[in-house]
């Protein structure tokens, strides 16, 4: 220890020692930074970084050594052998390359430590090769113990440095500590190694004439060091700038919609957070939020394709953007839905004017190459004037108002009010209750007779769903079925209805058919066919007794998929009926294309058919169409004798309705379905 201190304090020029330390610190910091990147990057970036990091690290070791040698003042002439000097630089670079390769591709906790040990050995090898280039009038004797200690110090601190790089601890200490340990490894190894020498002067030994002088050596060292460090600094600067640019580009991409270039939902979330702080700090600040949803956009996609739909969205976005003034912002939050924000207004009329400008731009014709299109818009508005000062709450309320506008075609722009909030909360509560209804066994099936018109004998039952709410009592299907369809709950409810209907039909002693309504959302389920097969197998009902009723909406939404599903159902032996015929867009082509086993005329055409000539004409046309296509027709909603006589006169195949009784409970239905007397006919008639 005393020898080491004496070597540093008595035999070295302090100024050059400080320069060596500065070079070592700067080089170590750059080396640690570049080595850290090796553990973070992969592929080509890592392969490019590897030799550059090896060059900088090796040059740092070499420069520190030889600048410190320039600081060494033995008191007699000395010089440096050029070949070995160059070899020592090569040793430093190649050894550092090996160490960094070990760090980059290390596996497990031991790998970085071994890589650091290689770095320490590189420092030692470079030092002692460099000392062989040191020429003086005499010989150098080495203290072996001190040499070993110097090598161990280099290995130990080098391993610690590389372990710190690999662990990548956060914070300032995590970045500084590996560089500091690397610097200590280089400096401590060097000065410990220098303290191991003992020079024996010999006048017979001369410094070779081709050896480099200290002046030449200084120029070489500072030239090489300057160039390499300049390369390293430039590389680090370019890397940082590229990372900043990439980060900014990613930030821009993350905050903007790639199709329209508008700000997106993430930007909106952050804006709402900023607005919340502003509204809390400034009590007079005002904000309005508008939710905008395009009308008829789905039809554009269905008829003209998604490419045209994208073009429509881009044109609408450009139009709306041109309308924005100071304090007005527009975002696209998904699909054909937008959110606009207006700040700094005084009166609600200013907000309404903004909404009307937006609406006017949207409804203008959109001229494309081969077609001119029109879309509408439903706009909901909520403001801090009357609807609270929570931006998230305003967004929710504007969404509620938008849905009200969508349900009222004559009112495309709606401002939020308490009644809307009540309706929205009731709907939310109903969704929650529907989820619990399946678990709580609150649903019930009732059964409506289907009768052959010629004999009035029962031929089957249509199952109808009823909901017995524990608090509200029985809720009409007209009230909860649309909510179930909108939320997708109809899939689970429909599966339950089908299973219960088949389970009940399996217990009937008479082979009546059982008709079950299928919602459009069920047909698009990938597992629908499998679910039907499982239920048939589970309950043991013959497929020929099951009749699935499909509405026209199911066909219109996705004809190709519906046709595929229907053919698979028919292959199982299941019969398929078109429900509510005449209320939608059905045509002769539809009936020809789809394999229906029955057509059900909607009750709205059957009611008073004997008194209304127009309804009579529609019913006759449907019956003629069914006869031409050899598809039996069932008339729904028969309530009086005159309607029955009219249908019988027009050769309708079967009927159902209140004329034969109200939908029956399970127990009443069983009196018919499980009756052993085959002649039960008009006994079911309820006058």
Q: Cα dist. 336→317, 382, 558 in Å?
A: 10, 20, 20
Which pLDDT belongs to residue 684? 44
pLDDT tens, residue by residue, 406-421: 888 788 999 998 777 7
3-state class of 357 per DSSP?
A: helix
3-state helix/strand/coil string of 238-275:
HHHHHHHHHHHHHHHHHHECCCCCCECHHHHHHHHHHH
Confidence of residue 9 (pLDDT cuts 50, 70, 90): very low
Q: Cα dist. 206→130, 131, 197, 202, 203 in Å?
A: 19, 17, 19, 8, 7
Backbone angles phi, psi at 50, to 5 degrees: -60, -55
Burial class (CB in 10 A: 0-12, 13-18, 19+), 304: middle
pLDDT tens, residue by residue, 591-640: 777 889 999 998 989 999 989 899 999 899 989 988 988 999 999 999 99
Q: Rounded to an integer, what distance in angstroms lies between the CA atom of residue 559 and that of residue 565?
A: 10
Question: Are residues 115 and 103 in contact, defined by beta-carbon separation less than 8 angstroms?
Answer: yes
Mean pLDDT in residue range 86-108: 88
Residue 205: half-sphere exposure toward Cβ, Cα within 13 Å: 14
16 vs 182, residue with greater confidence:
182
Q: Rounded to an integer, what distance in angstroms lies between the CA atom of residue 462 and that of residue 247?
A: 62
Label residues 81-100 b or e (16+ Cβ within 10 Å = b). bbebbebbbebbbebbbbbb
Q: Cα dist. 26→33, 127, 371, 553 in Å?
A: 11, 19, 67, 73
Burial class (CB in 10 A: 0-12, 13-18, 19+), 502: buried
DSSP codes, 207-218: --TTSBPHHHHH
Query: How high does pLDDT run on average in the chain?
Result: 85
Which pLDDT belongs to residue 209? 62
Task: Output the six-digit token pair for 578.
Answer: 């078109």
Evaluate if pTM is beyond 0.85: no
Confidence of residue 4 (pLDDT cuts 50, 70, 90): very low
Residue 12 has pLDDT above 80, yes or no: no
Mean pLDDT in residue range 304-321: 91
Of these ranges, 31-35, 43-47, 660-664, the one predicted with the greatest mean pLDDT is 660-664
**Residue listed under structure tokens 């075609």:** 409
């Amino acid at each position: 220890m005393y020898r080491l201190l004496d070597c540093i304090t008595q035999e070295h020029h302090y100024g050059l020692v400080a320069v060596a330390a500065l070079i070592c610190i700067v080089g170590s910091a750059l080396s640690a930074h570049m080595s850290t990147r090796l553990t973070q990057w992969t592929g080509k970036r890592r392969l490019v970084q590897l030799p550059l990091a090896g060059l900088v690290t090796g040059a740092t070791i070499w420069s520190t050594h030889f600048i410190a040698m320039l600081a060494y003042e033995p008191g007699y002439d000395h010089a440096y052998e050029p070949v070995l000097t160059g070899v020592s630089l090569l040793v430093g670079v190649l050894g550092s390359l090996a160490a960094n390769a070990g760090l980059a591709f290390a596996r497990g906790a031991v790998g970085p430590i071994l890589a650091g040990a290689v770095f320490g050995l590189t420092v030692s090898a470079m030092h002692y090769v460099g000392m062989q280039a040191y020429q003086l009038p005499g010989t150098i004797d080495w203290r072996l113990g001190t040499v070993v200690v110097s090598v161990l110090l280099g290995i130990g601190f080098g391993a610690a440095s590389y372990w710190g790089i690999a662990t990548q601890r956060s914070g300032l200490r995590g970045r500084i500590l590996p560089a500091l340990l690397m610097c200590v490894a280089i400096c401590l190894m060097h000065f410990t190694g220098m303290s191991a020498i003992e020079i024996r002067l010999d006048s017979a030994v001369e410094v070779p004439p081709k050896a480099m002088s200290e002046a030449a050596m200084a120029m070489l060292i500072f030239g090489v060091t300057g160039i390499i460090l300049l390369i390293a600094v430039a590389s680090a600067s370019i890397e940082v700038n590229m990372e900043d640019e990439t980060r900014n580009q990613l930030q821009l991409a993350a905050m903007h919609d790639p199709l329209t270039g508008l700000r997106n939902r993430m930007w909106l979330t952050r804006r709402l957070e900023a607005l919340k702080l502003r509204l809390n700090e400034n009590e007079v600040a005002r904000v309005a939020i508008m939710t905008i949803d395009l009308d008829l956009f789905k039809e554009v996609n269905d008829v003209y394709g998604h490419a045209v739909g994208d073009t429509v969205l881009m044109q609408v976005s450009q139009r709306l953007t041109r309308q924005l003034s100071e304090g007005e912002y527009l975002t696209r939050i998904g699909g054909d839905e937008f959110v606009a924000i207006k700040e700094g207004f005084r009166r609600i009329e200013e907000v309404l004017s903004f909404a009307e400008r937006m609406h006017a731009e949207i409804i203008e014709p959109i001229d494309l190459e081969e077609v001119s299109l029109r879309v509408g818009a439903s706009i909901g508005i909520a403001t801090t004037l009357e609807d609270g000062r929570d931006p998230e709450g305003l967004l929710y309320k504007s969404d509620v108002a938008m849905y009200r506008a969508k349900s009222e075609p004559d009112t495309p722009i709606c401002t939020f009010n308490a009644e809307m909030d009540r309706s929205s909360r009731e709907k939310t509560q109903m969704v929650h209750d529907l989820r619990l209804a399946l678990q709580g066994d609150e649903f019930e099936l009732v059964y409506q007779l289907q009768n052959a018109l010629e004999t009035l004998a029962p031929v089957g039952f249509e199952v109808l769903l009823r909901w017995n709410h524990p608090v509200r009592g029985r809720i009409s299907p007209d009230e909860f079925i649309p909510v179930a369809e909108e939320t997708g709950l109809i899939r689970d409810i429909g599966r339950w209805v089908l299973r219960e209907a088949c389970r009940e039909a399996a217990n009937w002693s008479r082979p009546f058919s059982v008709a079950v309504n299928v919602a459009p959302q069920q047909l698009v389920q990938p597992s629908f066919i499998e679910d039907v097969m499982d239920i048939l197998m589970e309950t043991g009902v013959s497929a020929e007794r099951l009749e699935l009723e499909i509405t026209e909406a199911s066909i219109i939404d996705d004809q190709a998929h519906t046709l595929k599903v229907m053919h698979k159902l028919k292959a199982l032996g299941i019969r398929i009926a078109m429900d509510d015929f005449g209320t939608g867009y059905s045509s002769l082509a539809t009936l020809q294309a789809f394999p229906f086993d029955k057509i059900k005329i909607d009750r709205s055409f059957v009611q008073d058919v004997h008194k209304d000539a127009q309804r009579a004409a529609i019913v006759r046309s449907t019956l003629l169409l069914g006869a031409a296509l050899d598809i039996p027709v069932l008339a729904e909603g028969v309530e009086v004798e005159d309607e029955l006589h009219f249908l019988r006169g027009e050769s309708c195949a079967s009927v159902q309705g209140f004329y034969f009784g109200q939908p029956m409970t399970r127990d009443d239905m069983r009196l018919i379905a499980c009756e052993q007397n085959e002649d039960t006919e008009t006994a079911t008639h309820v006058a």
